[in-house]
Structure 1
Amino acid sequence: MKQVSTGLLWGIFMLIIACGSTDKSEIAVLIDTFYSTRENYANVNKSLLSAELVTLIDSAQQKEKKSAEKISKSNYPTDKPLLIEGDIFTGLYEGSTSHEILEIRIRDSTAVVEVRFHNNIGENISWTDDIHLLKKGKWKIDNVVYGHENPAILGSLKEVLRSFNQTEL
């Protein structure tokens, strides 16, 4: 009986390790896919994002559209409408030219992925951002906490989107 209990415990332990490894693999593929295929915030693969983040992005896109419509009907139709500019999925306005995953930390249904980004256009710049994920069936990107020390930008992707969405037209 003791042998069966030890064997059972060992099997459960191995299953837990295997599940963690599967989660890390799934997360790594998600991060690599997302950061290798996105061009700008308006045309990201929303199936890789959390529902809350998709809602914030959709609201920002509607705000941009309403702003453009309002300006086109104004006395100054050539003015620039409200726009989200730059790469909001990394902590550098110009965005990244490459990335590498440094660490994946999983706790229950949340994960934080430490990603080292590089931009080698012009001067070589490297920085680390934390990508926050949620698991609801599948892992989804929920936020990006910027690590690049730039006082001109807010601290995270969600903060940028919320601030933009609260801007008056």
Structure 2
Amino acid sequence: MIRNPGPVALSAVSLLALAACQTGPDGLTSPKAAVRGFYGPYKGDFRQAETARLSKSLAAEVERARANEVESAARTKAGPNPTDKPNILEGEIFAGLYEGYTSYRMGPARVIGDRASVAVTFTNKGYKTRWTDDVKLVNDNGWKIDNVLYTGGWTGQTSLRDNLRQFNALPVAP
């Protein structure tokens, strides 16, 4: 005999189904959930980015850029031209438009082994523009953002990692 499970049981089943959509077959956070977990709370300042959602190597590059800014500011202030502008990584770096985005929408995730890719369509309402960048992830004790390939051609770089490498290669003021 089948009995009516009632609303509490149905709610529990619904929550389990929702949780299953957020995790992959190995129980780790899905690539789309990882992207949403990063971009949802992110407010456009790379210095405040949650590096726990980035791969270890990308988090190290971001931390190096933060440290280079601090060192450049200190050296500039103590140097012969203290009013010069120190090296500062300006503009949005986690999306391919310097001015940043006002909203985003994710496309499907493509997973191959321990690598994944999610197409993210960004919109900047003020500039009336929309573009799609390719967010690359790696399964590093859970899905983590490893790079963002810029597709709009507005930044002068091809990716987040290229942007960070170029900045981190700048000479620090004497």
- Is residue 76 of structure 2 the alignment partner of residue 71 of structure 1? yes
Instruction: Describe the SS at the equivalent of 2:23.
Output: helix
Change (3 A) 1:137 1:97: same
Q: Residue type of the partner of 1:43?
A: Q
Higher helix share: 1
State the identity %: 34
Give the match for residue 15 of structure 2: none
- Is residue 116 of structure 2 the alignment partner of residue 115 of structure 1? no
Instruction: Describe the SS at the equivalent of 2:108.
Output: strand
Q: Decide whether the 8 Å contact of 2:136 with 2:149 is kept in 1.
A: yes
Q: Residue type of the partner of 2:24?
A: D
Q: TM-score, length-normalised on structure 1?
A: 0.82
Give the stretch that moved more between structures: 69-78 or 41-50.
69-78
C-alpha separation in 1, matches of 2:103 and 2:24: 23
Give the match for residue 4 of structure 2: none
Long gaps (5+) in structure 2: 1-19
Long gaps (5+) in structure 1: 1-18
C-alpha separation in 2, matches of 1:72 and 1:99: 39
Q: How does 1:92-131 map to 2 (within 5 A)?
A: 92-121=97-126, 123-131=127-135
Give the match for residue 37 of structure 2: 33
Could you tell me which of 60, 66, 76 is aligned with 1:61? 66
Q: How many residues align?
A: 149
Could you tell me which of 64, 78, 87 is aligned with 1:82? 87
Could you tell me which of 135, 148, 155 is aligned with 2:152? 148
State the 1:136 CA deviation.
Answer: 2.1
Give the root-mean-square deviation of aligned CA atoms.
1.8
Instruction: Describe the SS at the equivalent of 2:80.
Output: coil
